[in-house]
Amino acid sequence: MFESLSGKLQDIFHRLTSRGKLTEGDVIEACRQIRLVLLEADVNFRVVKEFVARIRERAVGAEVLESLTPAQQVIKIVREELTTLLGGADAKLQASPKPPTVYMLVGLQGGGKTTTAGKLAGMLRRQGHQPLLVATDVYRPAAVDQLVAVGGQVGVPVFQMGTQADPVEIARQSLAQAVRMGNSHVILDTAGRLHINEELMEELAAQKAALAPAEILLVVDAMTGQDAVNVAEQFNEALDVTGFVLTKMDGDARGGAALSIRAVTGKPIKFLGVGEKLDGLELFHPDRMASRILGMGDVLSLIERAEQAVDAKRAAELERKLRTRRFDLNDFLDQMQQVSRMGPLDQVLDMIPGVGALKRKLGNMQVDPQALRRTQAVLQSMTVQERANPETINGSRRRRIAAGSGTSVQVVNQVLNQFGQMKQMFGQIADMERAGRKPRLKFPFS
């Protein structure tokens, strides 16, 4: 997410901070480079022009240039302006004063509406609500079946009347059903087209008039760049959307849509769709996203993910085992599974301040998800007893584990050796803490 844009911006700031004292010419040159980087990221030209002009106006002045840390002052200004560009404050979902609250998801075909509807329904259900999904896309082949399947995966009922019914009538009937069943939210998965046309807009406008939704969320594929902004303008003009869901954000290294769409339409981004899993929907926080783009990490989001994925009692038990040298491969596997629930490891690492700069320094080092999966497969191919007593894993057992995990004996040996080194390291740290000395971490296989 924003990998290319983030790296280039951080390079510009690195050059600024390495200069010490700045001149007006230095700031103007940095602004020129920022403009080029944003244009390369497919950010709307008018948005770039206004954004850079605001930075230049604030940064070229005695207060900044004569300060003790002028480069840091410039970076602070860029972060503040980037936060404003992305929306400033968080935009929360609106709720109707009288339930059920209706949310309409609209957008072009292929943008990810159906998956997003399931993700949103799953999020509301985890928050204790009782949502109802509604299939009003009667045109796309298997669209109704797909929504039924998605609803089953997240444990949310789906209202549908087949593919022959009128979409507006389906919407009306779903609202009556929600009132009867006591559903708190109604989420409409509406029809899309490959392109915007008058017929589509008239149908969506009729559903809007019939249900008076609290939110009309436009689902847009972030990877389409400027096309996403053009689509957003047209839908907003026709339906007066209340916000956006940007999907496929994990595949968008440039970020042009996210940086343009709010400024062009005046409507907020409310969610980011990340990954194909049905828990891959994130609330959009402009300040946190600005920090991530500038390589400052996103510690708050990292903590929130950890709180959702990691069991506090099991974490405390793990700490106790580490301090008493009772940490075994069962614990190792358990921790790997909990961490994997936080999302792809490279995304998690990018939330830690400074990791982005470190990765670039090491030649844009990438985390190999296949290596993590191989390690997990090796551990899962062992018996519980073998994981508790890895010293019992002899040659024949290693061959069986390799065959069971689809790897080789060399990979099994590597996993066991790395675990042994890690256990030894944690044991040394525990000994030093008991002796009252400050531990010096040395990672044997980093």
**What three-state secondary structure class fits 46?**
helix
Co-location of 261 and 113 in the same domain: yes
Mean pLDDT, the chain, rounded, equals 82
**CA separation (Å) from 399 to 3, 239, 386, 414, 418?**
40, 62, 14, 13, 18
Q: What band does 446 get if pLDDT is binned at 50, 70 and 90?
A: very low
Q: What band does 43 get if pLDDT is binned at 50, 70 and 90?
A: confident
- Rounded Cα distance, 282 and 249, in Å: 10
**Which one is predicted more confidently, 89 or 237?**
237
The answer on pLDDT for 71 being more than 90 is no
Q: Which of 116-120, 372-376, 409-413, 426-430 has the lowest mean pLDDT?
A: 426-430
**Which one is predicted more confidently, 16 or 153?**
153
Percentage of residues in the chain with pLDDT exceeding 70?
Answer: 80
Query: Could you give phi then psi for residue 102, rounded to 5 degrees?
Result: -105, 130
125-164 burial code (b ≥16 CB/10 A, e <16) = beeebbbbbbbbbbebeebbebbbebbeebebbbbbbeee
Co-location of 146 and 53 in the same domain: no
What per-residue confidence (pLDDT) applies to 443? Answer: 33
- Assigned domain for 443 exists: no
Co-location of 145 and 256 in the same domain: yes
- Rounded Cα distance, 303 and 411, in Å: 32
Angle between helices 286-293 and 3-17 (to 10 degrees): 70
What per-residue confidence (pLDDT) applies to 131? Answer: 96
Co-location of 336 and 256 in the same domain: no
Q: Assess contact for 403 and 378: CB atoms under 8 A.
A: no
Q: Which of 71-75, 286-290, 300-304, 404-408 has the lowest mean pLDDT?
A: 300-304
Co-location of 130 and 252 in the same domain: yes
Co-location of 217 and 310 in the same domain: no
The answer on pLDDT for 362 being more than 80 is no
Q: Assess contact for 74 and 27: CB atoms under 8 A.
A: yes
- Rounded Cα distance, 168 and 5, in Å: 42
- Assigned domain for 428 exists: yes
- Assigned domain for 95 exists: no
Q: Assess contact for 44 and 261: CB atoms under 8 A.
A: no
Q: What band does 315 get if pLDDT is binned at 50, 70 and 90?
A: low
What per-residue confidence (pLDDT) applies to 304? Answer: 57
**Which one is predicted more confidently, 250 or 212?**
212
* pLDDT tens per residue, range 223-263: 877 788 888 999 999 999 999 999 887 665 566 778 888 88
The domain boundary residue, chosen from 60, 85, 110: 85
User: What is the mean predicted confidence (pLDDT) over 158-181?
Assistant: 93
Co-location of 119 and 178 in the same domain: yes
Co-location of 138 and 285 in the same domain: yes
The domain boundary residue, chosen from 51, 85, 119: 85
- Rounded Cα distance, 119 and 277, in Å: 8
User: What is the mean predicted confidence (pLDDT) over 187-200?
Assistant: 88
Segments in 98-166 forming alpha helices (H)? 113-126, 143-154
DSSP string, 242-305: -EEEEE-GGG-SS-HHHHHHHHHH---EEEEE-SSSTT-EEE--HHHHHHHHTT---HHHHHHH
- Assigned domain for 179 exists: yes
Co-location of 292 and 403 in the same domain: no
* pLDDT tens per residue, range 112-122: 899 999 999 99
Co-location of 124 and 67 in the same domain: no
Q: What band does 441 get if pLDDT is binned at 50, 70 and 90?
A: very low
**Which one is predicted more confidently, 154 or 336?**
154
User: What is the mean predicted confidence (pLDDT) over 385-400?
Assistant: 92
The domain boundary residue, chosen from 280, 296, 312: 296
At 133, list the tokens: 């999904």
- Assigned domain for 441 exists: no
Co-location of 129 and 144 in the same domain: yes
- Assigned domain for 339 exists: yes
Q: Assess contact for 258 and 127: CB atoms under 8 A.
A: no
- Rounded Cα distance, 274 and 294, in Å: 20
Task: Tell me the CATH number at 47.
Answer: 1.20.120.140
Task: Tell me the CATH number at 400.
Answer: 1.10.260.30
- Assigned domain for 37 exists: yes
Which strands form 101-106's sheet, in the order they lie side by side?
158-159, 131-135, 185-189, 101-106, 215-221, 243-247, 269-273, 281-283
Task: Tell me the CATH number at 288.
Answer: 3.40.50.300
Domain coverage including residue 222: 101-296
- Rounded Cα distance, 57 and 168, in Å: 51
The answer on pLDDT for 212 being more than 60 is yes
Residue type, 390: P
Co-location of 175 and 139 in the same domain: yes
- Rounded Cα distance, 277 and 270, in Å: 19
Q: What band does 309 get if pLDDT is binned at 50, 70 and 90?
A: low
Residue among 83, 397, 137 nearest 269 (CA): 83
- Assigned domain for 442 exists: no
**CA separation (Å) from 315 to 1, 167, 260, 334?**
29, 49, 41, 10
Query: Could you give phi then psi for residue 27, rounded to 5 degrees?
Result: -65, -40
The answer on pLDDT for 331 being more than 50 is yes
Q: Which of 65-69, 99-103, 299-303, 322-326 has the lowest mean pLDDT?
A: 299-303
Percentage of residues in the chain with pLDDT exceeding 90?
Answer: 38
The answer on pLDDT for 199 being more than 70 is yes
Considering the entire predicted model, what is its pTM?
Answer: 0.69
What per-residue confidence (pLDDT) applies to 386? Answer: 92
What per-residue confidence (pLDDT) applies to 316? Answer: 66
Total tally of structural domains belonging to the chain? 3
DSSP string, 323-369: HTT---HHHHHHHHHHHHTT--HHHHHHTSTTHHHHHHHTTS----H
- Rounded Cα distance, 140 and 113, in Å: 12
Find which of 84-88, 156-160, 339-343 is predicted with most confidence, using mean pLDDT: 156-160
User: What is the mean predicted confidence (pLDDT) over 337-347?
Assistant: 65
What per-residue confidence (pLDDT) applies to 318? Answer: 62
Query: Could you give phi then psi for residue 123, rounded to 5 degrees?
Result: -65, -45
